[in-house]
């Protein structure tokens, strides 16, 4: 079953590039990790019109979705709290 974790960050103005670079590094590391079985993709994006609003999306394909989030997602959300407000949610893809 495919499911998506979305971790959104609202950072202070002026820190956008630092946070964006950090998210890109984290996404690449997550995709290379052997401990993340079922992780298909990690995507970093920024809001089209609001500076400082960024997101990382973890796309999973596992037998069962983890409704509270994966260990990776929960860990990322916790560590990103240092950069600003964080919203972590899990979405199940419908066929």
The pLDDT, as a whole number, for residue 42 is 93
Per-residue pLDDT in tens (0 to 9) along the chain, 95 residues: 999 999 999 987 777 888 888 889 988 888 887 678 899 999 999 999 988 899 999 999 999 999 999 999 999 999 899 889 999 999 998 87
Could you tell me the domains of the chain? 2-92 (3.30.70.100)
The pLDDT, as a whole number, for residue 29 is 86
Structural contact between residues 30 and 42, judged by C-beta atoms closer than 8 angstroms: yes
Residue 11 CB coordination number (10 Å): 20
pTM: 0.89
53, with CB counted inside 10 A (0-12, 13-18, 19+), is middle
């Amino acid at each position: 079953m495919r499911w998506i974790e979305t971790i959104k960050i609202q950072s202070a103005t002026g820190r956008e590039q630092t946070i964006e670079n950090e998210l890109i590094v984290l996404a690449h590391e997550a995709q290379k990790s052997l401990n993340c079985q079922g992780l298909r993709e990690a995507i970093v994006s920024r809001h089209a019109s609001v500076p400082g609003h960024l997101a990382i999306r973890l796309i999973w394909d596992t037998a069962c979705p983890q409704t509270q989030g994966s260990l990776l997602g929960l860990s990322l959300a916790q560590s990103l709290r240092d950069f600003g407000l964080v919203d972590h949610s899990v979405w199940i893809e419908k066929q």
